[in-house]
C-alpha cells in the first residue's frame, strides 16, 4: 500500500514501518533511499519493543520534497497485553505515550528527506518539547490511536536542518495527548562535540553535594520504593539508587532528590533505539525524571494517609516542556537526575499534587531540563 501523491513508491504498511527500523531503507522509503542500503547510515525508527508506529494512512506532500508544511496521519495499535502496561499501574507509561507521538515525526522527516544534500552518515535527535499535554490516560482497552502530525516549518543553520511539528493523538472518544516538538539532523561528529545545556558552578556544587541521608539502592527489587510504578525490576526502571535527599532542599524549601543510573552498553534500549546508532531514548530520560519525582513524594512522607495510592503520570491537563542538548550512548558511564519540588497541594486523605523542576546529567554534562512538570497521587476510587 503506497502513501503520498500519485506516483509515490513509499509504503505505509506495518512491514514498511519495521523496515524503517531494521530493514533496508529503500524498503521503507523507496528509490530515494537506495543510497542508504549500503554502508551510509540514515535516520531510523526505533525497533521492537520500542516501536510504536503501526501504519501510515496518508501524507499530503510528495516524498523527498522537503516542504515547509505538510500533514501526516498514522496509527498506533494499542495491544491490551503489551509489556509496558505492567510498568504503570495499568496505564501506559508516560515515556511510551511521548514516544508514540515523537516517532511519526521521525518517519515524516525522513519521508520529506530534509537531509538529501548531506554527505555521509545522518542522525536524527529530538531537541525540544512544548505544551505536551496529556488529556486522558491510555488504558489497555484504548484500541487504535490516530496521530495527526503537522510539519509547521523547517530551518537550516550551520549545516544542520531543524524541523518543527505539532502532533495530535486521539481515538474515537477524542484527544489523548497534544505536543509541539522539534528535531535536528546531525552528523556523528556534531553529536560527539555537543556541549550540553548551560551549567554554573552552583549547579555543579548542588549536583555533587553530600547527602544528609544514606544512599538507597533500588537494585534488589526496588527496596522501599518497590511500591512505586516501574521501580521493581522492569524494563522501564531508569534509576539504580537514590544518592541524595534533602527534606527542605530546593529553592522553595520543599525538598530535593538526586538519583543515579549506571549505563550498561548492552541495555535493551540501545538495541532498539536505533539500529547502528544506539542512544538512550529521550523519552526514557523523561521517565527517569518522573520516577525521581515519585521517589521524592515517597521520601517526603506525602503518601501517608492515602489508601491504595494511584499515580497520575503526568497530571492530566498540566503542560510539560523540555530541552534536550546531549545524548546517552553506550560508552557513557552514569546518568544523574535531580528533581526539586516547586509547589505542593495536599488534600488530606485524598490526593497530593507536586509540581517539580528536573534536570539530568550524563558523565558531568548537563543534557536535559524540564522546567516544570507535575505528578499526582490519589486514593483509589
Catalytic residue numbers read 273
DSSP 27-55: HHHGGGGGGGSSS-----PPPTTS----E
- The runs of H, that is alpha helices, within the chain are 14-21, 25-29, 94-112, 188-192, 201-208, 268-272, 282-299
Report residue 151 CA to chain centroid gap: 19
Grid coordinates in use for 87?
510498568
The Cα–Cα gap between 109 and 101 comes to: 13
Residue 120, Cβ neighbours under 10 Å: how many? 9
Grid coordinates in use for 316?
492530566
CA distances from 178 to 63, 97, 116 (A): 25, 10, 29
Contact 218, 167 (CB under 8 A): no
Amino acid at each position: 500500500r503506497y502513501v503520498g501523491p500519485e506516483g509515490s513508491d513509499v509504503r505505509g504498511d506495518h512491514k514498511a514501518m519495521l523496515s524503517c527500523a531494521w530493514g533496508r531503507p529503500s524498503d521503507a522509503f523507496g528509490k530515494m533511499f537506495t543510497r542508504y542500503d549500503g554502508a551510509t547510515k540514515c535516520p531510523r525508527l526505533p525497533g521492537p519493543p520500542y516501536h510504536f508506529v503501526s501504519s501510515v494512512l496518508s501524507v499530503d506532500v510528495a516524498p523527498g520534497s522537503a516542504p515547509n508544511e505538510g500533514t501526516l496521519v498514522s496509527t498506533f495499535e494499542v495491544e491490551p497485553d503489551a509489556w509496558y502496561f505492567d510498568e504503570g499501574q495499568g496505564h501506559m507509561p508516560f515515556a511510551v505515550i511521548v514516544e508514540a507521538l515523537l516517532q511519526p515525526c521521525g518517519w515524516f522527516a525522513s519521508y520529506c528527506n530534509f537531509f538529501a544534500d548531506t554527505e555521509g552518515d545522518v542522525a536524527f535527535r529530538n531537541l525540544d518539547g512544548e505544551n505536551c499535554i496529556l488529556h486522558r490516560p491510555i488504558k489497555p482497552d484504548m484500541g487504535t490511536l490516530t496521530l495527526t502530525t503537522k510539519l509547521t516549518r523547517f530551518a537550516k543553520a550551520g549545516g544542520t536542518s531543524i524541523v518543527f511539528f505539532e502532533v495530535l493523538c486521539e481515538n474515537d472518544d477524542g484527544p489523548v495527548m497534544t505536543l509541539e516538538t522539534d528535531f535536528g539532523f546531525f552528523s556523528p561528529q556534531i553529536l560527539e562535540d555537543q556541549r550540553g545545556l548551560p551549567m554554573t558552578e552552583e549547579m555543579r556544587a548542588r549536583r555533587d553535594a553530600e547527602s544528609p541521608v544514606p544512599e538507597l539502592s533500588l537494585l534488589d527489587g526496588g527496596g522501599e520504593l518497590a511500591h512505586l510504578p516501574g521501580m521493581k525490576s522492569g524494563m522501564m526502571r531508569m534509576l539504580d539508587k537514590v544518592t541524595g535527599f534533602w527534606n527542605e532542599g530546593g529553592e522553595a524549601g520543599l525538598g530535593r532528590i538526586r538519583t543515579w543510573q549506571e549505563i550498561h552498553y548492552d541495555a535493551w534500549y540501545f538495541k532498539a533505539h536505533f539500529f547502528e546508532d544506539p542512544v538512550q531514548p529521550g523519552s526514557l530520560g523523561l521517565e527517569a525524571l518522573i520516577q525521581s519525582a515519585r521517589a521524592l513524594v515517597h521520601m517526603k512522607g506525602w503518601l501517608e494517609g492515602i489508601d491504595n495510592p494511584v499515580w497520575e503520570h503526568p497530571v492530566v491537563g498540566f503542560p510539560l516542556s523540555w530541552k534536550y542538548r546531549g545524548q546517552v550512548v553506550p560508552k557513557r558511564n552514569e546518568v544523574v537526575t535531580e528533581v526539586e519540588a516547586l509547589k505542593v497541594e495536599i488534600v488530606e486523605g485524598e490526593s497530593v499534587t507536586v509540581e517539580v523542576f528536573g534536570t539530568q546529567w550524563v558523565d558531568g554534562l548537563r543534557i536535559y531540563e524540564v522546567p516544570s512538570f507535575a505528578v499526582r497521587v490519589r486514593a483509589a476510587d
